[in-house]
Amino acid sequence: MGSYKFDVVMSCGGCSSAITRALNKAKEDPNFGISDFKVDLESQTVVVDGSASLKDVEAKIAKTGKTIKSSAEI
């Protein structure tokens, strides 16, 4: 199991809500591999725990239309 941190451009609650909805949907899919996540609008970060790959989680966030400035395993 891994943890990833994403620095994502989020300017409002709608931005963070869009990411939360996308990650909740992925979390509900037992084949995707997200066990937990935290979206923090103030720090513009998203932390994801689980067995999903960095690239797969990155793709889920990118589908919301938000810009990912950086991503890393933590």
DSSP string, the chain: -EEEEEEE---SHHHHHHHHHHHHHHHH-TTT-EEEEEEETTTTEEEEEESS-HHHHHHHHHTTT--EEEEEE-
Give the pLDDT confidence of 38-50 residue by residue, as tens digits: 999 999 999 999 9
Listed by start position, the domains of the chain span 2-73
Neighbours of 39 (CB within 10 A): 24
pTM for the model: 0.94
Query: Tens digit of pLDDT for each residue in 23-73?
Result: 999 999 999 999 999 999 999 999 999 999 999 999 999 999 999 999 999
Classified by CATH at the fold level, domain 2-73 comes out as Alpha-Beta Plaits (3.30.70)
